[in-house]
Amino acid sequence: MAKLSYHYPLSIRIWHAINALCILLLILTGISMYYVDPDRILIEFSWAVKIHNVTGVILSFSYLFFLIANAVSKNRKYYKMPLKGLMNRLVKQSGYYAFGMFKGEKKPFPLTEERKFNPLQKLFYVLAMYVGVPLVIISGLGLLFPESVIKALFGVSGILITDVLHVAMGFFISLFLVIHIYVSTIGHTKSANFIAIISGYGWIEETENETKSEE
Ligand code: HEM
């Protein structure tokens, strides 16, 4: 039986909207700066730099808000990932995404009051929010304030390492974004999750006995 459940507090929805807009702008200006070509200008270079830097600073503050909000609120429980049986759960969820859902199989980890993300979603949210985004911010601030970066590491220039790390994390977050938007369409309906991250209410398909034992 499916029913609506309040899954996304206002703080998380506001953070998510600011975060999504910043990341989209950073990807756009990042691509424009990276593939700068006087003949094919996406955004004029000096403007791309200005927008990228200001948006980067806004993203840093919004990330700080996410960290604190997630640390002090109940929302953090949804990011807890017990290692015991993790591989088994990830394989089960991957099998569902790869085959099960096309054969109309039941979801192995249906959303419930207690579970807002399936194991694969959770793994990618933890990687994006506790590895990818902090590293892209720290390396970005290093590029914005190059005097704060170490001169060299094992003979390799500190700025080069910072730049490679920044671009690599930018690439990872772009990939995450594409997968994230696709996986968000696999909900109660194609638009249900998008409505949920705006309204706060998501559909849960709780079946009592199943949920407790699985995680
Ligand atoms: C246009 C861009 C984006 C769209 C359309 C979008 C869509 C969504 C949707 C529909 C949800 C709710 C469903 C779910 O829990 O999966 C969600 C949640 C989430 N999104 Fe996004 N997203 C976007 C960008 C991003 C970016 C750039 C990040 C991180 C770098 C991100 C991180 C998250 C996280 C962590 C949650 C769970 C929030 C929570 O409940 O704690 N999203 N997003």
CATH number, domain 3-208: 1.20.950.20
Domain ranges of the chain: 3-208
Residue 116 sits at φ, ψ, to 5 deg, of: -105, -25
What's the half-sphere exposure (Cβ side, CA atoms, 13 Å) at 166? 22
Ligand 1 pocket, residues with Cβ under 6 angstroms:
8, 12, 16, 19-20, 23-24, 75, 78, 116-117, 121, 125, 128-129, 133, 173, 177, 180-181, 184, 193-194, 196-197
Query: What's the confidence (pLDDT) of residue 206?
Result: 57
Query: What's the confidence (pLDDT) of residue 207?
Result: 53
Evaluate if residue 121 carries a pLDDT over 80: yes
Q: What is the pLDDT averaged over residues 147-159? A: 94
**Residues in contact with 205: Cβ distance below 8 Å, sequence separation at least 6, in sequence order:** 1, 2, 107, 110, 111, 112, 188
- Kindly report, residue by residue over 53-110, the tens digit of the pLDDT: 999 999 999 999 999 999 999 899 999 999 999 999 999 999 999 999 999 999 999 8
**Ligand 1 pocket, mutate which of 5, 8, 16 (most atoms under 8 A from CB):** 16
Answer yes or no: pTM beyond 0.85.
yes
Evaluate if residue 147 carries a pLDDT over 70: yes
Evaluate if residue 186 carries a pLDDT over 70: yes
pLDDT band at 45 (very low <50, low <70, confident <90, very high): confident
